[in-house]
Structure 1
Amino acid sequence: MQEFFRYFVEGIDPVNIILTVNALPNLPWYNILFVAFVIAPLVRFQGPMIALWLANLLVPHRLFPEPPQRRPGPLPLVSVVIAGRNEAAGIAGTIRSLLACSYPRMEIIFVDDCSTDDTFEIAGSFVGTGHVRCFRAATHSGKPSCLNIGIQRARGEYIMIVDADADVQIGAIHEMLIPFDDPRVGAVTAHLRVRNARDTLITRMQEIEYAFNVAASRLWRSHLGILSIIAGAGGMFRAGAIRSLGGYDTGLGDDTDLTMRLRKAGWRLVFAPYAVIWVDCPATWRGLIRQRSRWERNMIKIRLRKQIDILRVSLFGFSNFLMMADQILVRFLLPLAFLAGLFWYIATDPFITSRILTFMYWIHVWETLLRMLAANDVLGVPRLAALPLAPLVPLYRLGLKLSLMPAIVKEMLRIGLRHGYVPEKIWRQTPHW
């Protein structure tokens, strides 16, 4: 332990960093492999961020093109569909933010999933504005089924899906409509920002994570045509596109599943960086693991089982193959390789472990600082006040990956497949992958 802390402190000494780098080629082969497993993710994640920063510096008009002149005539009608159960604490704020977001031709459709509190009554109190319609599901059927009810009743040319506890920033709907001038665009995803970032250390870490994975990542993926998600908390669809697919899968009604089906149908997907929607993140570690475990299990259900055929280039094209291959690499292969290399390394050469691990830790810290600065320069997130948290980010990532391993293993072994948020009757009607 004393050796570990000595090398930990030495990790910030440039001389020791240079000496350690020079020593790497002389390490046994399995250490070289471990370093490769760590260096490869650094290149994969830092490379796109550097490219974004350079594009913003040299050709900002290509990264953020000027919006086209608004066509003459009335604005299109946008139907905002919200589904929720027991959302009394947040539904009023969400509806108020929509009514105040400066878009005049809008209808808000709220579908209540048999709430046991006064959610439906609170939403119904806005009916008098003339912009809100409320419906109640006959039985508790889950969020995807309720979203489909709203989609069926929507009268707009475009359908926007918003969470029942989100805030839509002024101008967001205008920004999300701009990409639809291209008839090939089937859906647009908003820029999600963490509303409760200052609540706890866990939410502050998620603010940094959202800056990387929600803002910067979706920006460069959008420009390359490999955007992999239209966020369920804030996405807009061409009405004809979402209806042609039959809406959400009621049993696996995940935004990932709908995104994959849109891509298979040949629609182009776009990220709107100036369309900001504020969402709340889990404020405790337990709540975060519960949320991310659900996400990881759905990733396996949908990407590795239900929609794995999107890798077939002959059917769905090279861009879909590239998108899916990158997701498998980033979400599954690199994390598993890193953890396997870490455990092997500790077990086989504990003496040198302290120096290499602390060296790699500091590499990740400097890499995180660079990404934070670049993301802030390009997109304004995360806040510069979050920079002192950079030393905690590698530990947060590692702890999160380790905590999610049980959920991943259980899903791979098909243990406890049904999620609690899917009603039993809906689950029985759903094909399982």
Structure 2
Amino acid sequence: MQPNLTPIQPELGPKKFYISVHKKFWISHLVSIGWLIFSVYLSIPWLRDFSSISSFPVALIVICGIAYIPGYMNAFLVISLLLDRQPKISNRFPKDPVTLLIAAFNEEDSIFNTLKYVANQDYLKKMHVIVINNNSSDNTDSEIKRASKEFGLTIKILHEAKPGKFHALNKGLTYVTTPYVITLDADTLLHPSAVRFLVSKIKNSPNNVCAVAGSMLVRNSRETLWTRIQEWDYFLGIASIKRLQGLYQGTLVAQGAFSLYKTECVRAVHGWPNAIGEDIVLTWRLLQKNWKVYFEPLAIAFTDTPTSLKQFAKQRSRWARGMIEGLTEIKPWHQPQLFTKYLTGINFIMPYLDLVYTLCWIPGLILAFFGIYWVVGLMTLLVLPLTFISYGLLYFYQKHFVFNQLNLRVRKNPLGFILFLFFYQLIMSPVSVWGYFQEFFKRERVW
């Protein structure tokens, strides 16, 4: 996606009718359960044949992991997206004081550009900017000072010798005096209206909303084949999950790369935790306090994604570890809200799905090329229509209600989309499984 960074005002039409969130939740469940029953009925011959070469329990465990549960989850996602309606924004130009926290570790190549886009925000109130240099050994400080001078930014530079992003953010938090705090990665570029939309979202939300996650997109999508693939993951995959979670008022990750929090809420849970997925655990702690976390699709930031398979595996295995950290600390059944119980409960079964996919589906796919359809067969294709529908719906929404509103255009990337659709999960599931094992055996954490 090519950013055309021009400040705008969205024009969202009035709602014609209203369906409560609870009704949307149960309607989506009823439809997805119906799809599940239909899938089980069609799969009886497959289940019988697979049982003949293994056993019924083994066949059921495998088929549940590669067909029944993914099909049910995709159906729930599709219906939820169809029912989702973003509320009209009434206060488009808030003037509340806000602080930006930027943790920086050896960011001399990117911090100047990041601060340039901070300076270009159309937010009407002057923002407080705090950059925490987390024991950098390069010229990060010099680049911050250069940006401050050239762009007229008032920047407080702090130094944190203890390695770890959570140490840096917590030090910055002690200096925050505004009611809202935004975390921003040092290599992330903001759309000129990004901060305004985040603050607008929380100002137009109920008082029990404690955080709003921004929308992350890929900046370096033309750098390598891996970044081309990840462009679609962020644009369709991650965005669809964020919209689903935002609809049910429990966005599970207010990502540290670009999110807004109520300062008092972050302090109430003692700041960012000592975790490899500090933003995941922080978000779940906030949800456990019976607060809600929203998502704002119009608050867009562009980030650099890993350019090689090795870097990609390192990042996504770290994300998988972060999810396990969150589940270890806060079980789904300990979450106070029904929606959050369900959403975190889905994460609870993700290791099972990734294990089955890695150990059964991938070998089964290889066997299918030789005409052996024990694991992968025609039934598994039932998941594809739902996948196409969900991605089609989100593409339409992203293009017409997000990109057009922000004067952005969707860049053509057919090769990346094909590889994302058919091969991305072949990499993602094994990488996630590796992350689960890393956390299980408590391997060394790396920022």
What's the CA shift for 1:338?
Answer: 3.2
Are residues 1:123 and 2:144 paired?
Answer: yes
Task: Tell me which of 189, 195, 215 is aligned to 1:173.
Answer: 195
The structure-2 alpha-carbon separation of the partners of 1:153 and 1:22, relative to structure 1 and needing over 3 Å to count, comes to closer
The structure-2 alpha-carbon separation of the partners of 1:104 and 1:222, relative to structure 1 and needing over 3 Å to count, comes to same
Q: TM-score, normalised by structure 1?
A: 0.80
* Partner residue in 1 for 2:345: 325
Are residues 1:248 and 2:268 paired?
Answer: no
* Partner residue in 2 for 1:385: 412
The structure-2 alpha-carbon separation of the partners of 1:134 and 1:391, relative to structure 1 and needing over 3 Å to count, comes to same
Structure 2: distance between partners of 1:213 and 1:361: 20
Task: Tell me which of 124, 127, 135 is aligned to 1:114.
Answer: 135
Are residues 1:79 and 2:99 paired?
Answer: yes
What's the CA shift for 1:252?
Answer: 4.8
Are residues 1:269 and 2:293 paired?
Answer: yes
Are residues 1:408 and 2:436 paired?
Answer: yes
Contact 1:101/1:169 (<8 A) preserved: yes
Are residues 1:419 and 2:445 paired?
Answer: yes
Structure 2: distance between partners of 1:420 and 1:33: 34
What's the CA shift for 1:366?
Answer: 5.0
Q: TM-score, normalised by structure 2?
A: 0.77
The structure-2 alpha-carbon separation of the partners of 1:335 and 1:135, relative to structure 1 and needing over 3 Å to count, comes to same
Structure 2: distance between partners of 1:319 and 1:371: 20
What's the CA shift for 1:21?
Answer: 7.8
Classify the secondary structure of the residue corresponding to 2:319: helix
Residue by residue over 1:95-116, the C-alpha shift from the partner in whole angstroms, topping out at 9 and shown as x without a partner, is: 1111102113212111111211
Which amino acid is the alignment partner of residue 298 of structure 2? Y
Long gaps (5+) in structure 1: 1-19, 56-61, 422-433
**Which has the larger share of helix?**
1
Classify the secondary structure of the residue corresponding to 2:412: helix
Classify the secondary structure of the residue corresponding to 1:332: helix
What does 1:59-78 align with in structure 2 at a 5 Å threshold? 63-69=85-91, 75-78=95-98
Contact 1:78/1:156 (<8 A) preserved: yes
Classify the secondary structure of the residue corresponding to 1:420: coil
What's the CA shift for 1:144?
Answer: 1.2
Which amino acid is the alignment partner of residue 412 of structure 2? A
Classify the secondary structure of the residue corresponding to 2:239: helix
The structure-2 alpha-carbon separation of the partners of 1:23 and 1:147, relative to structure 1 and needing over 3 Å to count, comes to same
Long gaps (5+) in structure 2: 1-41, 404-408
Classify the secondary structure of the residue corresponding to 1:173: helix
Structure 2: distance between partners of 1:98 and 1:139: 25
Which amino acid is the alignment partner of residue 234 of structure 1? F
Between 1:248-257 and 1:143-152, the stretch displaced more is 248-257
* Partner residue in 2 for 1:372: 391
* Partner residue in 2 for 1:258: 282
* Partner residue in 2 for 1:342: 361
* Partner residue in 1 for 2:75: 47
Residue by residue over 1:335-378, the C-alpha shift from the partner in whole angstroms, topping out at 9 and shown as x without a partner, is: 22333443785899997535863646755655544333221111
What does 1:209-220 align with in structure 2 at a 5 Å threshold? 209-220=233-244
Structure 2: distance between partners of 1:127 and 1:349: 59
Structure 2: distance between partners of 1:265 and 1:117: 40
Structure 2: distance between partners of 1:251 and 1:201: 31
Structure 2: distance between partners of 1:101 and 1:350: 53
Are residues 1:148 and 2:175 paired?
Answer: no
* Partner residue in 2 for 1:306: 329
Task: Tell me which of 189, 212, 217 is aligned to 1:193.
Answer: 217
Which amino acid is the alignment partner of residue 215 of structure 2? H
